[in-house]
A and B are shown apart, each in its own frame.
Chain A
């Protein structure tokens, strides 16, 4: 956990006062809605279909129990008793009143949470691996660097009015859980031959209307130079990124139009001017940030405790353990993913009661720490294996033990037309229907790892391009139509999915997905050939045939 010091607290409080003043000026009419719009966006406040939506940052997906309780408090006091975890380690509240927002922010500031730059054309919440610091085989804890970059990008005097939003993600593992290749800047922690820590820097990834997988701009940037290198990228983008067309304003378009070679030369030239400036980070600064991350005092525990051996006789426990429990870097401990995808419910939602109860469980079983992942699930990062059976029982009572992590019902979906003013089509009802269709755990387990991603418009908040199965809702002649892609993925082998054919109507989507899945089950070579591998081996054609032969 990172502990704010007086300096961080002061800044967040100053931001709350500023926003309070801005809201006051808006309510008095001193600020026009046009002027206020950008100011509220810089504080994570959107105007949605029914009300203001408030997006709160959970930097690099790490929460203390006091912070999760504060989020529960906001859900209860200012909203309708629940929150929605997003694909970028944020939480959204959908029913906030403008006049109460400054108070909600002030309540969150008390526990070191803010909503700065969770929307708007600035540098967004820095995201990372939700297993940071506990995943086996990590180079080092990427949150140290994430926090450094969080600070550096907060209220940046040069880059707060960019051509478009700008997202940075960091991973330190071979297996990329942070989806860095679909970010404006993706950072992969690596070590060079002298064993020094640095980053492979990727640039120009992003989804939306024109999706691109990020390209490597530099294979190794030393840790001490990472801020100046990011600053150089941003400076080139701020000056040359397109501002004439909102759909062509992301850095991915600039990189694409210039070509990665020319773009990287521009960056390199800029970087040479600033790399030996005060942006250079000395070890002491890193150590200072590192020192404010606390790590649990782990016990020496057996690899296979009796409690776990006994519980293995219970098939329900085993189903949950197999889906939700992952290896921890310390023997005797596990990382537990908490599915926020109960069958038939909107993905990523949690009630205030669930958040409070989960905070209690985290205090009891996970050294007071919770993680939030881009898959819209939560995690308890340090659970002793002997506690797994007790934890499972407690989670099950809360409706938080659905054994479907990474399975077909672990669906990622944007809020869609039920909430969002940008959406063209509904997402949540599609997710709910699919979740019901594949509710049978044996069936889901038989299918194996399969990610479905649903977006209700081309902006792609549900990351449909990189779903193993992607579903994009569009509007055609006043009707919701859904385009289906297959073969996308968001990990270290990130790829964009391929369209299988013409769009289908709302009522047909679940049938089509069932057809795709049946085709996969018939086509796979072995039971352990995953959906994405079958698609890779055979291409789209056999799936297309299956779906459209009878339609």
Chain B
């Protein structure tokens, strides 16, 4: 499954661990939430980046104490119809100021990219190769956004205010 990060298809620097996989010596690891919470101290002492795979029905508050210490959070879309992880993503970015990698996993398809970018995702495990290749093009589909989110894109309402004021200066 291709990984898109920074707008490009890249190699994954993380290895996903199951609940009982032995810890590798080094290298980045993505650990299921349950295991992460249980073994957090040991995992964080280890050399190499640690990320967590957080299910969409588990309260994100539980992860908050660790946000400064982890390198990645992978949120899950069990199907593309299930939008709970969009709320989790915005909470992580906007309420808890999480600045590490925020990865979308599961059924990640082309037509969700814009929503995901706006919710704060910057990394995407894309289901289909063709969708991954079309990432940059798809991300530029929209130039107008009505809602303020943590991605910092200017909203239509504020752009209108700017236009009003700049018009006001000339008169």
**Residues in chain A within 8 A of chain B (CB atoms):** 5, 7-8, 10-11, 14, 17-18, 22, 30, 35, 38-39, 121, 151-152, 154-162, 235, 238-239, 243, 273, 277-279, 281, 284-285, 288
Contact = CB atoms under 8 A, between A and B. Distances in A.
B111 A235 contact: no
The 9 closest A-B pairs by CB, nearest first: A161-B83, A157-B118, A278-B148, A11-B144, A151-B146, A158-B86, A157-B115, A7-B156, A157-B119
Contacts of B5: none
Contacts of B23: none
Nearest to B115: A157
14 contacts: A7-B160, A11-B144, A14-B141, A35-B80, A152-B146, A152-B147, A158-B86, A161-B82, A161-B86, A162-B83, A238-B83, A238-B84, A278-B155, A285-B161
Contacts of A38: 80-81
A10 B83 contact: no
A10 B143 contact: yes
A157 B149 contact: yes
The interface size bin for chain B is: 20 to 34
A154 B146 CA distance: 7
Contacts of A159: 83, 86
B161 A284 contact: yes
A152 B149 CA distance: 11
A285 B165 CA distance: 12
B64 interface: no
Contacts of A22: 111
A152 B118 CA distance: 14
Contacts of B81: 38, 121, 161
Contacts of B164: 284, 288
A364 B112 CA distance: 46
A243 B161 contact: no
Contacts of B130: 30
Contacts of B114: 155, 157
B29 to A, nearest CB: 27
B163 to A, nearest CB: 9
B114 to A, nearest CB: 8
A277 B91 CA distance: 13
B18 interface: no
B160 A5 contact: yes
A38 B111 CA distance: 10
A152 B115 CA distance: 14
A7 B161 CA distance: 12
A238 B141 contact: no
A312 B164 CA distance: 51
Interface of B: 80-84, 86-88, 90, 95, 109, 111, 114-116, 118-119, 130, 141-149, 155-157, 159-161, 164
A2 to B, nearest CB: 13
Given A35-B109, A151-B157, A160 B115 contact: yes
Given A14-B141, A160-B115, A243 B82 contact: yes
A452 to B, nearest CB: 36
Contacts of B115: 155, 157-158, 160-161
Contacts of A39: 111
Nearest to A122: B83
A235 B118 CA distance: 16
Given A158-B119, A285-B157, A239 B142 contact: no
Contacts of A158: 83, 86-87, 90, 115, 119, 149
Nearest to B131: A30
Contacts of A235: 87
A17 B140 CA distance: 12
Nearest to B107: A35
B156 to A, nearest CB: 5
B81 to A, nearest CB: 6
A507 B71 CA distance: 69
Contacts of A157: 86, 90, 114-116, 118-119, 147, 149
Contacts of A277: 148
Given A39-B111, A155-B142, A7 B86 contact: no
Contacts of A14: 141-144
A158 B56 CA distance: 13
Given A38-B81, A155-B115, A162-B83, 10 more contacts: A5-B160, A11-B144, A14-B143, A17-B141, A38-B80, A155-B142, A157-B149, A158-B87, A158-B90, A161-B82
B87 A239 contact: yes
A279 B158 CA distance: 11
Contact of A238 (B86, B109, B116, B145): B86
Nearest to A154: B146
Contacts of B156: 7-8, 11, 151
Contacts of A17: 141
B84 A239 contact: yes
B84 to A, nearest CB: 6
Contacts of B86: 157-161, 238
Nearest to B88: A239
A497 B93 CA distance: 47
A238 B89 CA distance: 13
A288 B165 CA distance: 12
A279 B155 CA distance: 11
A109 to B, nearest CB: 13
Nearest to B77: A161
A156 B146 CA distance: 8
B59 to A, nearest CB: 9
Nearest to B159: A7
Contacts of B90: 157-158
Nearest to B110: A25
Contacts of A243: 82, 84
A288 B168 CA distance: 13
A14 B146 CA distance: 13
A243 B164 CA distance: 44
A322 B117 CA distance: 56
A151 B87 CA distance: 19
A278 B88 CA distance: 19
Contacts of B83: 158-162, 238
Contacts of A10: 143-144
Contacts of A151: 146, 156-157
Contacts of B147: 152, 156-157
B142 A11 contact: yes
A532 B84 CA distance: 43
**Most interface-central of B111, B118, B145 (chain A CB within 10 A):** B111
Nearest to A284: B161
